[in-house]
Structure 1
Amino acid sequence: MDANLTQHAPPVASPDSAAGLTSDERDRYRRQLTLPSFGLEGQERLKTSRVLIVGAGGLGSPAALYLAAAGVGTIGLVDHDVVDITNLHRQLLHGTSDVGRDKLASARDRLRDINPLVQVVAHDSWLTSANAMDIIANYDLVIDGADNFATRYLVNDACVLLGRPNVHGSVFRFDGQASVFGMPDGPCYRCLYPEPPPPEMVPNCAEGGVLGVLPGLVGTIQATEAIKVLLGIGTSLAGRLLMIDAMRMQFRTVMLSRDPECPACGTRTITALIDYDQFCGTPGLHALADARAEEISVATLRGWIDRNERITVIDVREPTETAAGVIGGARLVPMAELQAAMDTLPRDHTLVMVCKSGVRSARATRQLKAAGFTKVCSLAGGMVRWEEHHTAG
């Protein structure tokens, strides 16, 4: 190993000298084999490594591409979504011809093209408390490319229980973060964030936006950290939070330490997984399925409007968001004012809830259903989808 590199922890992956490297592998990885801190042993360790990537989206795309190219022997992907055209500016595992396909099918084809020597294992499901332990137990390391807090806490706690390193990444608008959690004597995600923020304070990428290249930057950092941890080389981000400001192109590192009172890895060490949707105050899988059943398409809404159906469109965005356009005749009722406005909403009309991407409107639909409204639905894809269809038409 290079004397200038500090090895904080032993390598996670073990070499398999019996397997060795084929002549094709030696040619493919030649530029890595010449590295003094890498060499033949490092490449053999990568060949026997098993890495799970949670999410085949913005962060998972660059992480998967680079780990496959580097020769990580087995890459597991957890996802249960389809490719949407709005994914393509940042999710480079997928292309225009993949729109409508399962992300796992698209990702598998892309990774096999990058490196047919790598085994890709598809886990076609959302990661849940019921399956997380069984899935993660089969891997040496986890790359967390999730876009929601419930999954991040789930990944963290499962990694703590199983003793697996957790390579974290997150992005929002022009800012990104990365760290390595769950290393021996190092902090976990809950040492940094013991409790999730209120769900209404957490817009997703569709609502808040994200610079397309930013997940590429953070996901590549995650892949770099994964290789270092697998091989036991260099100084990892364990005990540090890397904060990226892409607008100023500034990188700042905040030191982290293990919290003795951490609810996951401290004195109150967890012994089992919990209901993370309940913990984070977000809808679970069944609620999401129910919400999808209560969605309508842009074409359906257009038809209702053209036929003068008895509907009232309720726009739950903030006033500052409506400058780019509204649906004709829509009534503006921001989410924070919805409860107070319920008595003024017509119960003999079908209420069509609208927001930017469909997330807040789905939440508003559930809120009105709970209050006794029976004819209420959410516009799937929100104003983003409405404007796309309006422009296309």
Structure 2
Amino acid sequence: MTENTRPASEMSDDEFAGQFRAWLDANLVGEFAEIKGVGGPGSEHEFFPQRLAWERHMAAAGWTCVGWPVEYGGRGASLSQQVRFHEEYAKADAPARVSHLGETLLGPTLIAHGTQEQKNRFLPKIVDITELWAQGYSEPGAGSDLANVATTARVGEDGKWHIDGQKVWTSLAHLSQWAFVVARTEEGTSRHKGLSFLLVPLDQPGVEIRPIQQLTGTSEFNEVFFDDAVTDASMIVGERGEGWKVAMTLLEFERGVSTLGQQVGFARELEQITRMAHVNGSAQDPVVRERITRAWIGLKVIRAHALRTLADRDPTGGTASAAKLLWANWHRDLGELAMLVQGAESLTGPTETSEGAPNDLRDPENVELALWQRLFLFTRSDTIYGGSNEIQLNIISERVLGLPREARPS
């Protein structure tokens, strides 16, 4: 057993974080230093092959899936150690992860609900980053309302699941080998009843993936069409018709410790915008100063709420919904603040001489947008993807406050 693969339970939080920080300092160099800070929402197109190579480099050193139990290839890191891991990763300005959906969502869900066969088949390939996953939840007619999915799956004469329907806003489906798909498997059911959670290979004739071009000019989201796509009968997680329970487990993991690392990235963005305001003089404007101050306070509130959410499992989903509302609206407002600080320059293309504004000229395929312009445009979607504001407010009002349920079509 190497030092980097020693179980986290044998180390203090400081030792664990220090070991990871030292590894990052020693390894985020050379070819990997060139991809510092790249990728992430709105920028997933950036240096994808290099980021994949970086993550496989992490895997070889035992730095993927650190929160998983040791028997499944993880390090058994405690909650506090996982928080430190994500914060150190963000502080190092390491590139955005490419295996987020597999490592932080599907993997823990399989550990909780999967069969031993499924764990043996999929978990090692998530740990070593040889298979990437996409999430098949949202649909054109359902949006963030997962219970309204219309995609169907039936067992054919060959004993396999046959899937028909359409998913949308499927992040990185065009770069993934598999998708976890929520489909309706029981005829005549509605809402959350009769759903099943299926694991579906994407490289097959019955699957068509169409990238969606965004305002930023990039295409990290996709439409995915299933036309008699198949997957083996064993590729169902949990019991047939009980996919809602599995899907809700996964959504709990979605708002887990990785959000603390996300907030370190947010803090860096705010710091850069504040520096830009001082350089170009807009910080002298009292409106700008107030907006920067409110953003700083808002970030502290987000962190405090996130820590409380991690420490207190909430079966209603209310605290997780509040967390989504907090960070999504804050980040959207940060994009607007960046435009306010830049003033008229925010309406023009990037230049290499824009002092104080770190323009993103590294990608020759997307030089028409500066970094802050892309931030502004992409954060319009923060309040939609991962569960829209409206859905989060409904969850809080109905499940936490006990208000009457919103009228829905019968």
TM-based fold match above 0.5 = no
TM-score under structure 1 length normalisation: 0.25
Q: Which has the higher helix share?
A: 2
Q: Which has the larger strand fraction? A: 1
TM-score (norm 2): 0.24
Instruction: State which structure, 1 or 2, has the greater radius of gyration over its C-alpha atoms.
Output: 1
